[in-house]
DNA sequence: CTGAAAGCGCTTACAG
DNA sequence: CTGAAAGCGCTTACAG
């Protein structure tokens, strides 16, 4: 007999004490009305016997698994650790487990991943959708973590506002000629960040936006950007859409002999693990993942337990067009500007000093 | 009635076809001897009805959940994405799900995390132990991913060999004065990496090892290292124990006006996401996480299904001292040296040229 | 080749 | 306040 439990169960505890398993169940869960001292006796016995409740039994009976699924577009994403950590923490604080699935950037894989999670019986799904993807009805509550500009109900950081903060910071330092660097123009998140920045720059600031991904896709290299030339021609700040891009820019500039921030300021987004470690440390925008996770998990759980007594009448289930998506409406979590040393005042003298003899 | 299934189950499929649920089960699993055309009919019906098997029912019956637990010392670790992705992929290739738990670097939290996973009914555990921690008997198979030098059965990359490869590479480039930079001297992994390097350097190479963490703990800063001085005094290569450290060193050096690799070579470990993106790109050592995951998952699964028919006689279970730890013995997965542009020949002229006019 | 039955461990009305 | 009973969905000997 495969993997059969060897440990104690409710019945065995009951037998040891001469009570029924129902009473043990009630005592342990604190639900039924069981006399205080019986409860105490049962609890002690259970812990003495090393009782571990069976999730399978409970799940089969209640129809709930106590597990949430986390669908990630690409686990290799450097932001993923923050996301997974926050979700795991929020979920386990509520007694839920987290099952992960990696969609490896493919839409079909995303669908498969969701399917696998559903089969495993998750009670709800947190999905960080692949760029611009929509999730159909899946038969369980879904919380999406994306951008506020994504249609549908989502939790997300307010990327637009993050962009505004970067813009104000840079404008306040006197920069007038700014390069905005994005990666993928199809990304809602990146568009919001760039959009926020552009919207917040005063009229006297000239800025241009370059998207890297399309250049690379057409066989170009990072070098085609020619950052040094741009700087020589007057750009005093480069605001990127991610710390990874900022790191790329920063080191490329340093290698070319420019001094950051003395000659050029550089900013990122996301406050990735390496951002404070680099010299100069990156000015960036931090998202409160813990908060996002808390909201997503709370929304999911309220939907899961809220449905508890509503017996799904066929009629009502027909009426709901987007039945499985959670969250009253879009929640925006503020982002926090983190000023570090990669940004500084715009140099009055725009002349390039590649080899930085001014040290 | 909470979350009760609304979809079809084996019985409903059986009713629709006038056969028993047992036959449906057999047909779907391909186990029992069911006539070919009945199988076909049943499969079609099941898919028409949108049948999704109930994990809870199956788990309760078989005593196996089909889920593996992944215990991580710290999800924020930059290596985690690689680990989680590889594990998820190896597990789902074998029909298993992955439940995550973050021990946030604390030993007690690690114990809690394991406990939570066990309660959730995982069939096996993959644990990346917190530095130097041992896991006690937990009641299910455990695979540890650590260093070969850790006592006990583990899968791991051969960090020592990785160190050797870095050493050979650097020695081959003519470096004679090398700084070895570690972070935490309590880490087995880091000790193996440093040990491998030291062991592989020919006798005519002088090398010193510095551990950063103790310096920081005593209130020092990275600046106390005084990298620029070390380089001016003749160090031509800095070999670190992780790409994060290498990045720190690289950017600090660049900021101080040194040219990498023209004046100093820098190496890392782990091939983190940013390593190829930095300028100059980091020479590093890549671990084959997919392979490690495959071995760990395979070992776990063979233990899980292997135990299937061995009814655990009390006698035999007494004899095994480390009953739950898997893997015949330590498996070492080779590491691969990745040569990128942060390393180059040792400069014959050791004179420091901080502001690099030789560009 | 197919079916009836038992039982995994739990919870929840319901009856006492 | 406590217990007997039913049943969640599945699989597996076992009998036909």
Task: Check CB contact under 8 Å for B60 and A64.
Answer: no
Q: How confident is the model at residue A182 (pLDDT cuts 50, 70, 90)?
A: very high
Average pLDDT over residues B137-166: 83
Average pLDDT over residues A339-353: 78
Report phi then psi at A196, rounded to 5. Answer: -60, -40
**Which contiguous run of DSSP H or E holds residue B61?**
helix B55-62
For domain A67-157+289-308+321-330, say whether CATH 3.30.360.10 is its number: no
Is the C-beta atom of A279 closer than 7 angstroms to strand D? Answer: no
Look at residue A279 in the predicted model and tell me its pLDDT. 96
Please say whether the beta carbons of B158 and B335 come within 8 A: yes
Look at residue A285 in the predicted model and tell me its pLDDT. 98
Residue B255 has pLDDT above 90, yes or no: yes
Half-sphere exposure for B246 (CA within 13 Å, toward CB): 33
DSSP 8-class letter at A328: S
Task: Check CB contact under 8 Å for A274 and B307.
Answer: no
Residue of chain A minimizing CA distance to B278: A248
Tokens encoding B144: 């540890």
Task: Check CB contact under 8 Å for B63 and A4.
Answer: yes
Residue of chain B minimizing CA distance to A122: B55
* Helical residues (DSSP H) of chain A, grouped into ranges: 10-17, 21-29, 36-48, 55-62, 80-93, 107-119, 159-172, 188-200, 212-217, 227-232, 243-255, 289-306, 314-319
Look at residue A151 in the predicted model and tell me its pLDDT. 57
Q: How confident is the model at residue A148 (pLDDT cuts 50, 70, 90)?
A: low
pLDDT digits (tens, 9 = 90+) for A291-324: 999 999 999 998 898 744 333 332 223 223 333 4
Burial class (CB in 10 A: 0-12, 13-18, 19+), B315: exposed
Q: Whole-angstrom Cα distance, residue B336 to residue B338?
A: 6
pLDDT digits (tens, 9 = 90+) for B269-312: 999 999 999 999 999 999 999 999 999 999 999 889 874 433 33
Query: What CATH number does domain B67-156+289-307+322-327 carry, 3.20.20.70, 3.40.50.11030, 3.40.50.2300, 3.40.190.10?
Result: 3.40.50.2300
CA of B330 to C1' of C14 (A): 57
Q: Whole-angstrom Cα distance, residue B357 to residue A44?
A: 77
Residue A65 has pLDDT above 70, yes or no: yes
Q: pTM of the prediction?
A: 0.87
Query: What CATH number does domain A159-287 carry, 3.40.50.720, 2.60.130.10, 3.40.50.2300, 3.90.1150.10?
Result: 3.40.50.2300
The residue written with tokens 């505890």 in the block is A13
Tokens encoding B289: 């996480």
CA nearest to nucleotide C9 C1': residue: A57
Task: Check CB contact under 8 Å for B279 and A251.
Answer: yes
A vs B: CB pairs below 8 A: 202
Architecture of the domain spanning A10-53: Orthogonal Bundle (1.10)
**Which contiguous run of DSSP H or E holds residue B87?**
helix B80-93
Q: Whole-angstrom Cα distance, residue B248 to residue B262?
A: 18
Domain boundaries, chain B: 10-53, 67-156+289-307+322-327, 159-287
Look at residue B79 in the predicted model and tell me its pLDDT. 86
Average pLDDT over residues A225-234: 91
Q: Which of B50, B71, B85 to substitute to test the interface with A, most A CBs within 10 Å? A: B85
The reply to whether domains B10-53 and B159-287 share a CATH topology is no
The residue written with tokens 């040229």 in the block is B353
Q: Whole-angstrom Cα distance, residue A1 to residue A34?
A: 35
Pairing of the two strands B67-72 and B124-127: parallel
Q: Mean pLDDT for chain B?
A: 85
Which is nearest to B268 in space by CA: B287, B288, B247, B293? B247
Average pLDDT over residues B8-17: 89
Q: How confident is the model at residue B148 (pLDDT cuts 50, 70, 90)?
A: low
Which residues does residue B126 pair with via DSSP β-bridges, in sequence order? B70, B143
CA of A22 to C1' of C16 (A): 15
The dihedral formed by the CA atoms of B26, B30, B33 and B34, expressed in degrees to the nearest 10: 70
Please say whether the beta carbons of B101 and B116 come within 8 A: yes
Q: How confident is the model at residue B119 (pLDDT cuts 50, 70, 90)?
A: confident
Average pLDDT over residues A173-202: 95
Average pLDDT over residues B220-230: 82
């Amino acid at each position: 007999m495969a993997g059969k439990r060897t440990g104690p169960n409710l019945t065995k505890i009951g037998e040891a004490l001469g009570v029924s398993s129902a009473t043990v169940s009630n005592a342990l869960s604190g639900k039924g009305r069981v006399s205080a001292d019986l409860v105490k006796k049962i609890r002690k016995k259970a812990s003495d016997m090393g009782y571990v409740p069976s999730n399978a039994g409970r799940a089969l009976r209640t129809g709930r698994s106590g597990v949430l699924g986390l669908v990630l577009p690409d686990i290799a994403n450097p932001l993923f650790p923050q996301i997974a950590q926050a979700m795991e923490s929020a979920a386990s604080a509520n007694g839920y487990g987290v099952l992960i699935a990696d969609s490896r950037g493919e839409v079909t894989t995303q669908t498969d991943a969701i399917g696998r999670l559903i089969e495993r019986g998750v009670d709800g799904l947190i999905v960080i959708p692949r760029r611009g993807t929509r999730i159909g009805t899946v038969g369980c509550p879904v919380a999406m973590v994306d951008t506020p500009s994504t249609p549908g109900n989502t939790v997300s950081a307010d990327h637009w506002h993050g962009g505004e903060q970067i813009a104000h910071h840079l404008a306040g330092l006197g920069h007038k000629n700014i390069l905005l660097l994005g990666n993928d123009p199809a990304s809602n998140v990146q568009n919001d960040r760039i959009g926020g920045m552009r919207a917040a720059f005063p009229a006297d600031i000239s800025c241009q936006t370059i998207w890297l991904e399309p250049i690379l896709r057409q066989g170009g290299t990072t070098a085609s950007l020619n950052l040094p030339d741009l700087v020589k021609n007057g750009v005093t700040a480069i605001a990127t859409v991610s710390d990874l891009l900022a790191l790329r820019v920063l080191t490329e500039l340093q290698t070319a002999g420019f001094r950051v921030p003395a000659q050029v300021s550089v900013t990122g987004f996301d406050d990735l693990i390496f951002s404070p470690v680099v010299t100069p440390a990156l000015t960036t925008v931090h998202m409160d993942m813990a908060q996002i996770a808390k909201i997503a998990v709370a929304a999911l759980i309220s939907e899961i337990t809220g449905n508890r007594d509503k017996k799904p009448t066929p009629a009502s289930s027909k009426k709901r067009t987007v039945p499985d998506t959670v969250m009253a409406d879009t929640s925006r979590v503020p982002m926090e500007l983190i000023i570090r040393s990669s940004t500084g005042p715009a140099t009055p003298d725009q002349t390039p000093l590649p080899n930085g003899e001014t040290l």
